[in-house]
Amino acid sequence: MILPKSSRLTSEQLAEVSAIVQEFGCRVQPIVGEVRTIYAIVGDERNELMINRLEGLDYVERIDRIQSPFKLMDRRSELANGHLRIGGVTLGEELFVIAGQCTIDPKHPELFFETAEGVKAAGATALRGGVWKPRTNPYSFQGDTRSLDILVEAGRMTGLPIVTEVMEPEHIELALNAGVDILQIGARNALNYSLLRQVGRAIAGRPTAVLLKRSLHMGTIAEFISAAEYIVNFGNPNVMLCPRGTAPALDGYRNHPDESITPLLKERTWAPVVVDPSHSVGKAAYVPGCALAAVAYGADGLCIETHAQPTQGIGDDPKQSLTPAALADVIRQARIIYELRRREPVDARS
Ligand code: PEP
Ligand code: MN
């Protein structure tokens, strides 16, 4: 990782650096952070001669040699100084709450508009709505591209940033062209390295963010963070990590709730953690407790399935959806815990 003395290299400096690393079979990837741009050396960057030559350039402050499978996502990376800001909310300073329907019913836009107004009134800071759905059963409703217009319209009505899941290159393009603010990579695709790369490449140079769900089968924390590294190393660092429960399920829950990995993620990476309690526990009655626990563990945000009329929801998830009124209660309580943690952090060794 090349850290320049100034906030970014000039094009002549970048050309010079690129020429040096190319001699050693590597290439340079600029990563545009909030504070400054840093330059990842992609390839085998351990060559001492190459490092010496780069360190000798008068505009280079230092070369960071973080020995980690996720150099950019690592807490020690210079990117740790950046802050993700979405829709007027800076993650890490204020609780970020994504809420909305699992699936948008293209036949009932009015239901989604009602949900959108409801989540806005409840205090959510971003609106989610599933346009394309990864369904276990191939005969279940798979989503409908026409729902994208409904999501965009609801975003416009409420002024909230919008979130939807993408599963294919075509979805990425459609979502970006429609102005989707946050692309979700779902649990089933979190290990799809090809899709991770495609999303990373597509959002480079844009303000778009990514909500990366944890795969049901990601046993280790490193695997989860490495998946985010695939996206970030194309240049856009706006990634949020989303624990959403793993397999096998804890008896009684939909998955094995994993909000407790929040402090482990925060210890190793600078990325904001946005926990999804809905898919974790799978039943509305259990969602508030899981959401509050996530915030107590230090989460920066929550992603909560909410439906104005849960019994009218299509897709798998009506039973786990909160009503906007219940969401408002959860958000109010979660903000109290969030503020308490910020104001009075407990020193475990005091
Ligand atoms: C969803 O967010 O509706 C969803 C399908 O999530 P996951 O990928 O976590 O199952
Ligand atoms: Mn869902």
Residue-wise DSSP of 175-192:
HHHHT-SEEEE-GGGTT-
Prediction pTM value = 0.91
Q: Using a 6 Å cutoff on CB, does residue 187 contact ligand 1?
A: yes
pLDDT given for residue 105 in this prediction? 95
Q: Using a 6 Å cutoff on CB, does residue 130 contact ligand 1?
A: yes
The rounded Å distance from CA 109 to ligand 2 centre is: 18
Residues of the chain scoring pLDDT < 70: 316
Interhelix angle 169-178/147-158, nearest 10 degrees: 30
pLDDT given for residue 267 in this prediction? 95
Neighbours of 8 (CB within 10 A): 15
Helix/strand/coil percent split, the chain, to 5: 40, 20, 40
Q: Using a 6 Å cutoff on CB, does residue 244 contact ligand 1?
A: yes
pLDDT given for residue 42 in this prediction? 85
- The CATH class of the 85-343 domain is alpha beta
Q: Using a 6 Å cutoff on CB, does residue 245 contact ligand 1?
A: no
pLDDT given for residue 66 in this prediction? 73
Residue nearest (by alpha carbon) to ligand 1 atom 4: 186
For 217, the token pair is: 């089968």
pLDDT in tens, 13-65: 999 999 999 999 999 999 988 888 999 998 888 888 999 999 999 999 999 87
pLDDT given for residue 316 in this prediction? 59
| CATH topology assigned to domain 2-65 | Alpha-Beta Plaits (3.30.70)
How far is CA 35 from its chain centroid? 20
Mutation choice for ligand 1 from 133, 136, 244, CB with most ligand atoms inside 8 A? 244
Q: Using a 6 Å cutoff on CB, does residue 279 contact ligand 1?
A: yes
Residue nearest (by alpha carbon) to ligand 1 atom 9: 187
CA 82/CA 240 separation, integer angstroms: 13
The rounded Å distance from CA 172 to ligand 2 centre is: 19
Residue nearest (by alpha carbon) to ligand 1 atom 1: 102
Cis before 248 (ω within 30): yes
CA 350/CA 153 separation, integer angstroms: 51
pLDDT given for residue 80 in this prediction? 80
The rounded Å distance from CA 236 to ligand 1 centre is: 23
Residues with CB under 5 A from ligand 2 (ion): 102, 317
Check if the beta carbon of residue 28 is closer than 8 Å to that of residue 17. Answer: yes
Q: Using a 6 Å cutoff on CB, does residue 186 contact ligand 1?
A: yes
Strand partners, 90: 85
Q: Any idea where the domains of the chain sit in the sequence?
A: 2-65, 85-343
Long-range contact set of residues 187-191: C-beta below 8 Å, sequence gap at least 24: 187/213, 187/214, 187/215, 187/216, 187/244, 187/279, 188/134, 188/215, 188/216, 189/134, 190/214, 190/215, 190/218, 190/224, 190/227, 191/215, 191/217, 191/218, 191/223, 191/227
Q: Using a 6 Å cutoff on CB, does residue 36 contact ligand 1?
A: no
